[in-house]
Amino acid sequence: MKKSIYSILKGRFLVSDDAFKSWKMIFFLSGLALVMIASSHSADKKVHEIAKLNNQVKELRSAMIDGRGRLMKLKKESFLENKMAEKGIAISEVPPKKIKVKSQKE
C-alpha cells in the first residue's frame, strides 16, 4: 500500500511502459477540466448580465410610473385651471354648443 502511494506521488506511472494510456487519460481529463471552467465562466457572465438587465428594467419601470403620475397631474382640470388663470384665461361659464352642418348637396 505504501509503495503504491509513493509510486503515484513520485510519478512513476507517467514513465512506465504503459505510460501512453496514462498520458491519454491525463490529457482527456485536462481538456475536460478546461471545458468545464470555460462553461462556468460563461454561465457567470450571463448571470451578471441578467442581473444588470433586471436593474435597468426596475429603473425604467419606476421612471415610467413617475412619468405617468406627472402626466395624470398635468391632465387634471384643477391644475389646468390654475395654469390658465396665471396667463389670464378663465373657464367659460356658458357650456359649449354643438354645431351641426348640413351638407349642401341637393
CA dist 101 and 94 (Å) reads: 21
**Residue 91: predicted pLDDT:** 84
Q: Which helix (H) or strand (E) holds 86?
A: helix 77-86
**Residue 59: predicted pLDDT:** 97
Summarised one tens digit per residue, pLDDT across range 16-46 is 777 777 788 889 999 999 999 999 999 999 9
CA dist 70 and 40 (Å) reads: 45
Contact 90, 84 (CB under 8 A): yes
Cα dihedral 74/77/78/82 (nearest 10)? 70
Contact 91, 83 (CB under 8 A): no
Question: Is the pTM higher than 0.75?
Answer: no
Summarised one tens digit per residue, pLDDT across range 67-90 is 999 999 999 988 988 888 899 888
